[in-house]
Amino acid sequence: MKYAYYPGCSAHSTARDMHESALAVAGALGLDLIEPAGWTCCGATAAHQTDPVLAASLPTASLLKVRDMGLDMVVNCAACYNRMKVANHEVSTDPAMRKKVSDAVGRDYDGSVKVRHIVEVLLEDVGLDAIKNSIKQSLNGLQVACYYGCLLVRPHEVTNFDDPENPTSLDRLVTAMGGVSLDWPHKVECCGGGLSMSRTDIVVSLTDSIVGMAKAAGARCIAVSCPMCQINLDMRQQDIEKQTGTRHDIPVLYVTQLLGLCLGISPDRLGLKKLMVSPASVIEKIEVHANG
Amino acid sequence: MAITIKKSSKEVEGLIRRVEEISGVDLNLCYQCKKCTSGCPVAKMTESPPSEIMRRLLLGAGDELLGSDIIWACVSCETCSARCPMGIEVAAVMDALRILALEKKAEKQEGNVPLFNRAFLSTVRLFGRTYDIAMIAAYKLGTLKLMNDTEKFPTMLKKRKIALLPPTGADRKTARRIFKKTKQNKAGKE
Ligand code: SF4
Ligand code: SF4
């Protein structure tokens, strides 16, 4: 199965581990991810908050490159995924916007490239049965809080990802890996996303409530699928401790990192050293089972 | 709560109409159920939650509304839009208010969100992709809050969470074209 894989800018900075684990897992499951040459930044929250035409044009530049490849676009970063889908929606439903965008990009685009999140590909194209069959090491009952955040599920009429209030895609993957996915109320709460640097105060307060809730629900780790959620929930635990004295100490892993461990891929290849809160307890849980 | 509104007919007309124009939202649909506010993660931290902003706009608020703290506290999570029983895109109203606040240079711009956005976008314009070091430097120099988060930099560098070299391989030509054209487009409108 061949896909055009859009890594997104964070794949080469804060979320190298998201990128590395996606490639490793794809390789193990026989997915062929091809990076479109010359892809550009999706513009993220910054473009969205600045100018609607800029916000639709930046993703379009990369969508056009994928259209030329004749493949579906697979995205791992939830923020890029959201911007790509919004751009598709805008150019296909608003003729005036389509004209402005084609003028800015220099080529006309109809919004027809199919954009999919890697989790959708894992569930729909690979399938839970195949995943279960490929698994070498179980999560061994590890209690996982699956956290979706905003960008995968909202706006639902645009992203059309799972159920917007109670999504279960990550939960189904975790269960297939032998983990226990927890029922908890903060699955689709917001972590503060792109305001991590500009409004750190807000982000620390939001992440404290999310990580605290996961812990109260019994989580031993949080599974995410968005680089902004990952860095906020993981890195801000230091700030939470400094400001409130509460030490949560909950590792925050990409679902592709968890899956990679279960597929027997080494922690190094999955970028696990990049996490701020050590995932040692998670790795140990998996290995104890594998060796015993 | 009591809502005070300064009414000056010229501005009044302008603000609600411009917000509707930019956001495509019909503000008259709001019947103040406050569901947007209940789900808003930053409502507790701000003076005017989203439902109040909606009400004030409808009651004819003028430019002073652009100083509301929620405009730069809003995390664009879209929970308000997702849950509004009237299908109102409340988050799009927030986007519109940010655009108007920048356009009218409203004074209170908490937390330098616009500055961060500019720093972010300037690296995309130059390199076609974001370039952390340049972006962080531009933002930090601009805010003069140089020491915030700096204790994390050594760890982040060690863990290669911050890229030191500029990104290569992006189609910079198209990126620059997009920035140039959208800027011209905007300038033409004003
Ligand atoms: S949820 Fe919708 S109708 Fe209810 S107060 Fe908010 S904007 Fe108005
Ligand atoms: S988009 Fe903004 S206003 Fe709406 S719920 Fe989220 S933070 Fe609140």
| Domains delineated in chain B | 10-103 (1.10.1060.10), 113-185 (no CATH)
pLDDT at B115: 79
In this structure, what CATH number is given to the domain that contains residue A186?
Answer: 3.40.50.11810
Q: Shortest CA distance to A211 belongs to which of A254, A180, A241?
A: A241
Q: Taking a contact as any Cβ pair under 8 Å apart, which residues of chain B between 30 and 69 contact chain A?
A: 41-42, 45
Mean pLDDT over residues A118-144, rounded? 96
As for the ipTM of the complex, it is 0.81
pLDDT at B11: 47
Evaluate if residue A210 carries a pLDDT over 60. Answer: yes
- Interface check for B159 against chain A (CB to CB < 8 A): the answer is yes
Evaluate if residue A292 carries a pLDDT over 50. Answer: no
- Regarding whether A85 and A174 lie in a shared domain, the answer is no
Q: What percent of chain A has pLDDT over 90?
A: 84
| Three-state DSSP string of chain B | CCCCCCCCHHHHHHHHHHHHHHHCCCHHHCCCCCHHHHHCCCHHHCCCCHHHHHHHHHCCCCHHHHHCCHHHHCCCCCHHHHHCCCCCCHHHHHHHHHHHHHHCCCCCCHHHHHHHHHHHHHHHHHHCCCCHHHHHHHHHHHHCCCCCCHHHHHHHHHCCCCCCCCCCCECHHHHHHHHHHHHHHHHHHC
List beta partners, residue A223: A146, A253
Mean pLDDT over residues A261-282, rounded? 95
- Regarding whether A135 and A83 lie in a shared domain, the answer is no
Q: In the predicted model, what is the mean pLDDT of chain A? A: 93
Cα B41 to ligand 2 centroid, rounded to whole Å: 7
Higher pLDDT, A11 or A43: A43
The Cα-based distances of B140 to A12, B31, B108, B160 in angstroms read 21, 42, 19, 20
pLDDT at B187: 73
Nearest 5 degrees, angle CA A101-CA A104-CA A109? 40
In this structure, what CATH number is given to the domain that contains residue A64?
Answer: 1.20.1050.140
Q: Shortest CA distance to A171 belongs to which of A159, A154, A160, A184?
A: A184
Amino acid present at A164 = P
pLDDT at B134: 67
| b/e code B135-151 from CB counts within 10 Å (16+ = b) | bbebbbeebeeeeebee
Q: How many CB pairs under 8 A join A and B?
A: 170
Cα B58 to ligand 1 centroid, rounded to whole Å: 12
- Regarding whether A146 and A100 lie in a shared domain, the answer is no
Closest CB to B111: pick one of A57, A164, A199. Answer: A199
Q: Which of A85, A118, A151 is the last residue of a domain?
A: A118
Mention every residue, 6+ apart, whose C-beta is less than 8 A from residue A174: A139, A144, A146, A180, A181, A223, A255, A258
State whether A103 and B45 contact (CB < 8 Å): no
**Which residues of chain B make contact with A51, given a CB cutoff of 8 A?**
99, 182, 186
- Regarding whether A114 and A132 lie in a shared domain, the answer is no
- Regarding whether A84 and A218 lie in a shared domain, the answer is no
Higher pLDDT, B146 or A68: A68
pLDDT at A145: 98
- Regarding whether A243 and A138 lie in a shared domain, the answer is yes
- Regarding whether A131 and A113 lie in a shared domain, the answer is no
- Regarding whether A12 and A135 lie in a shared domain, the answer is no
Nearest 5 degrees, angle CA B145-CA B146-CA B151? 115
- Regarding whether A140 and A113 lie in a shared domain, the answer is no
- Regarding whether A183 and A105 lie in a shared domain, the answer is no
The Cα-based distances of A118 to A22, A109, A222, A223 in angstroms read 8, 24, 18, 14
pLDDT at A261: 96
List of chain B residues with pLDDT < 50 = 9-12, 146, 190
- Interface check for A166 against chain B (CB to CB < 8 A): the answer is no
pLDDT at B3: 66
- Interface check for B154 against chain A (CB to CB < 8 A): the answer is no
Mean pLDDT over residues A174-191, rounded? 96
Q: Which of A68, A90, A118 is the last residue of a domain?
A: A118
Closest atom of ligand 1 to CA, residue B54: 7
Mean pLDDT over residues A57-85, rounded? 96
Question: Which domain range does residue A100 map to?
Answer: 2-118
- Regarding whether A107 and A12 lie in a shared domain, the answer is yes
Higher pLDDT, A169 or A291: A169
pLDDT at A68: 97
How many structural domains compose chain A? 2
As a dihedral over the C-alpha atoms of residue A206, residue A210, residue A216, residue A222, rounded to 10 degrees, the angle is -150
Q: What strand order describes the sheet that includes A143-146?
A: A180-181, A143-146, A221-224, A252-254
Q: Which of A87, A118, A149 is the last residue of a domain?
A: A118
State whether B182 and A57 contact (CB < 8 Å): yes
- Regarding whether A114 and A45 lie in a shared domain, the answer is yes
Tokens 């603000």, residue? B15
| Three-state DSSP string of B25-69 | CCHHHCCCCCHHHHHCCCHHHCCCCHHHHHHHHHCCCCHHHHHCC
- Interface check for B97 against chain A (CB to CB < 8 A): the answer is no
Confidence of residue A290 (pLDDT cuts 50, 70, 90): low
Two structure tokens written together for A112: 């027809």
